[in-house]
Structure 1
Amino acid sequence: MEKFCFCFDIDGTLYPSNHVISKRTLETIEKLREKGHKIVVATGRNLSSVEKSGLLEQVQFDALVLNNGQCVLNDKGEVIYAKYMPADLVWEIIDVCGTNGIVCSLETVNDWFCVQQPNEYVKMTHDFFRETAPHQGEYNPSMKIIMAMAYAPKGYDYTPLKEIEGLNVDIGNSCYADLGLKGFHKYKGIEKCLEYFDLTKTVCFGDGSNDVEMIRHATIGIAMGQSIEQVKEVSDFVTKNCDDDGIVYACEHYEFI
């Protein structure tokens, strides 16, 4: 059988509503691994968030695509690719957030901190992800910032940040938006994994707005049953909901297991 790089979003894909990966999903991933396929997590989360989620204690991954494709680590935790934000862009994010009363956090490979005093929207967001909120810290231009987050009431459109040239604003399902470099998405990081593993084909699973390009570019793009319409429209197959073992159902449909 030809070997694929299997790439999984976390929230709403690996993690159902109770944030506990089902036994059947874990067994399916292990069967894929036994057949020689590579297993990759592809997420907007940073390393700290993934570690705090407990995911790495449940599933063995061959690589982590983090920060919506701007950072890639191998199974030893070594950086095999990272794209950092220019300092002037980081300063502009901080300035625009400060002017508009928005709290923002900055992410390096190994650290994650809020520039302003964390507020209720920070707490609500990280309660949503079932993780500890980032600590408060101070930006130094020597820091290698990979990505940022902005926190505002759910439904806020983040227009002031959308007006920053070169910045991509991806609004999440809670009180936050991911702030990354324009032109970057998860599949950019996945391409680095394909080079690293010397593979050419991918099977990608996702459900949210930051999964659209990953699903679009995949050899086989699979939308979870509860996915937003934009993901379903570009997918090759719509599987069952995450809560109904959608990963298992899709792998059985394509006879990968």
Structure 2
Amino acid sequence: MKTLLFFDVDGTLFDNEQQKVSIKTLHAIQKLTQDERYLVGLATGRSIDQLDAISEIKDAFDLKILINGAVAYYKNEFIYGKPMEKQDCEAVLKYANRIHVGIGFIGKNGHAISLLDDVVRLSLKDYQMSIPPIDPLYYLNEDIYQIWVFSNDKTTIQSFKDKFSNLKLFPWHKDGADLVHKDVSKGEAIKHIKATMGIDKVIAFGDGENDVEMIEVADIGVAMGNSRSVALKHKATFVTGHVGEEGLYNAIIKLNLL
């Protein structure tokens, strides 16, 4: 039986400060994806068309849990999804417009933003993402799996969490947050995959609040040293080093995966 390995992207595979994946991490992932003992996957808040930050290795992963667990693919085939309700999308848009905050609607195969200002532009640049089309009504004709909230103000982000308690909010490293269906998480997606694919062991690596459920369902959960999540570090089997100091590579070696 194969072991399932899941890797978060931002702050785990990808060093957002240095804007790169380290050479050691690149080589380790390449070796792991070629090892018959493992099925190797991504588990990220990014969507399918937002993986250019890890362009060197993005196609090496057979499994991709994306949009914080709202969708999943196996060998590029869609295998799981939980979209948001249209009325929730409309309500978030109305509130964002009222307080002059940009948002983004993320579909299975595309995305759009409600407006383009300096905050939106900087956030997209920080995550190495191109500027999408401006279409505040994108949600009307597409299933939406995630809403981006662009703001560098923690009070504003908290206001979205308080107002939309029927949704789940995951803060970014900076400049925003994700809103998803209340039942969505990386952990729920992993449980679905484990059940359908007959996997009996999962090892997961992450650094954010959106990785807590993933770490909880994993047999071995590794938190990155750069994580700011107290809950994640508490739930993890162990905490490795900072992403910028080969924390992921060192964890892979510590677990004797290579």
- TM-score, structure 1 length as denominator? 0.91
Matched, 1:91 2:90: yes
CA distance in 2 between counterparts of 1:26 and 1:54 reads: 9
Does the C-alpha gap of structure 1 residues 140 and 187 become closer, same or farther in structure 2, counting only changes over 3 Å? closer
Report the counterpart of residue 153 of structure 1 in structure 2.
152
Report the counterpart of residue 7 of structure 1 in structure 2.
6
Report the counterpart of residue 128 of structure 1 in structure 2.
126
Shift of 1:154: 3.8
After the TM superposition, which residues 19-38 of structure 1 pair with which residues of structure 2 at under 5 Å, given as runs? 19-33=19-33, 34-38=35-39
Shift of 1:36: 2.3
Shift of 1:65: 0.5
Does the C-alpha gap of structure 1 residues 197 and 28 become closer, same or farther in structure 2, counting only changes over 3 Å? farther
Matched, 1:141 2:140: yes
What SS does the aligned partner of 2:144 have? Answer: coil
Q: Which runs of 4+ in 1 moved over 6 A?
A: none
What SS does the aligned partner of 2:140 have? Answer: coil
After the TM superposition, which residues 109-124 of structure 1 pair with which residues of structure 2 at under 5 Å, given as runs? 109-115=108-114, 117-124=115-122
- Could you tell me whether the CA contact under 8 Å between 2:205 and 2:224 is conserved in 1? yes
Shift of 1:176: 1.1
Report the counterpart of residue 245 of structure 2 in structure 1.
244
CA distance in 1 between counterparts of 2:139 and 2:197 reads: 35
User: Structure 2, unaligned stretches of length 5 or more?
Assistant: none
Shift of 1:207: 0.8
What SS does the aligned partner of 1:136 have? Answer: coil
After the TM superposition, which residues 178-189 of structure 1 pair with which residues of structure 2 at under 5 Å, given as runs? 178-189=178-189
User: Structure 1, unaligned stretches of length 5 or more?
Assistant: none
Does the C-alpha gap of structure 1 residues 58 and 189 become closer, same or farther in structure 2, counting only changes over 3 Å? closer
- Could you tell me whether the CA contact under 8 Å between 1:124 and 1:174 is conserved in 2? no
Number of residues of Structure 1 aligned to a counterpart in Structure 2? 253
Give a deviation string over 1:43-92, Cα, whole Å, max 9, x none: 01111212x334365550011100100000122x2211111111111111
- Could you tell me whether the CA contact under 8 Å between 2:26 and 2:57 is conserved in 1? no
Does the C-alpha gap of structure 1 residues 241 and 160 become closer, same or farther in structure 2, counting only changes over 3 Å? closer
Report the counterpart of residue 192 of structure 2 in structure 1.
192
Give a deviation string over 1:96-154, Cα, whole Å, max 9, x none: 11122111110111111012x21111111111112212220133533211111111224
- Could you tell me whether the CA contact under 8 Å between 1:154 and 1:174 is conserved in 2? no
Does the C-alpha gap of structure 1 residues 226 and 167 become closer, same or farther in structure 2, counting only changes over 3 Å? same
Give a deviation string over 1:142-182, Cα, whole Å, max 9, x none: 32111111112243342442222421122212211101111
- Could you tell me whether the CA contact under 8 Å between 1:96 and 1:160 is conserved in 2? no
Report the counterpart of residue 105 of structure 1 in structure 2.
104
CA distance in 2 between counterparts of 1:249 and 1:14 reads: 12
What SS does the aligned partner of 2:50 have? Answer: helix
Give a deviation string over 1:188-218, Cα, whole Å, max 9, x none: 1222332343212111101111111211221
